[in-house]
Structure 1
Amino acid sequence: MHVFEKMYDEHEKVKVRFVGFTTKDVRYDFGIVYTSMFFGKPLVICMQTGRSALLDPKDIEDHDYLQRIFRIDTKEQAEDLAEFFSDILPTTPYVEQYE
């Protein structure tokens, strides 16, 4: 039998937001979990693909990252998504969790 060392087991009441929107080319459906875990970065889940990422303002600026993580077809679509996220995700810097 393997022995596992539990790193954390937290219970937290969180705010969850579900957002669906369209651009001229694509429809998006996201679930956004606002939590104090994970350095304060919201957990963004694409409801269509099941792909998820922890995002902060610097992540949003990286259009290549958004394109890769959410499997977006074009740079223009990634730019549209970045614009959307910049309006709804917190702009405060993430917190140091493991000090």
Structure 2
Amino acid sequence: MNLFERLYDEQENVKVQFIGFTTESARYDFGIVYTNMFFGKPLVICMQTGRSTLICAEEAENVDHVKKVFQIKCDDEASDLSLFFTKNLPTMTFDTQY
């Protein structure tokens, strides 16, 4: 009996960027995977906590979203991280997938 219906099974060579930086209050280490999957939206992985998300520059402007995804308690830290992502992630203009 087949329990799973495969939706996709793709392989690609991707660009991965590792970035470590500090702010006045925190240190961050991220891996950013640039892929053609998910409409080209990069996969951002926090190397310290393992939390990850698909996020683009426009979404990163939403400080509350960044705070929630990476479970940051301090508003200033979330704001710093949001600014970093806004400046370093690609912008995306696309229609909703679903």
- TM-score, normalised by the number of residues in structure 2: 0.90
Alignment of 1:10-89 (within 5 A): 10-89=10-89
Q: What secondary structure, in the 3-state scheme, does the structure 1 residue paired with 2:31 have? A: strand
Tell me, in whole angstroms, the C-alpha distance in 2 between the residues paired with 1:56 and 1:81: 13
The one-letter code of the counterpart of 1:14 is: V
Structure 1 unaligned runs (5+)? none
Deviation at 1:92, TM superposition (A): 3.2
In the alignment, the residues of structure 1 paired with residue 57 and residue 82 of structure 2 have an alpha-carbon distance, to the nearest angstrom, of 9
Q: Larger deviation: 15-24 or 74-83?
A: 74-83
- Residue by residue, what CA displacement relative to the aligned partner does 1:29-56 show, whole Å, maximum 9, x if unpaired? 0000000101211000000000000001
Gaps of 5+ in 2: none
Distance in 1, matches of 2:38 and 2:7, equals 13
Q: Judge which range, 49-58 or 15-24, deviates more.
A: 49-58
Contact 1:44 1:52 in 2 (8 A): yes
Q: Supply the RMSD in Å over aligned alpha carbons.
A: 1.7
Runs of 4+ in structure 1 off by over 4 angstroms are: 94-98
Report the identity percentage: 56
Q: Distance in 2 between matches of 1:48 and 1:94?
A: 31
Structure 1 pair 96–12 and aligned structure 2 pair: CA distance change class (3 A): farther
Give the AA of the match of 1:80: D
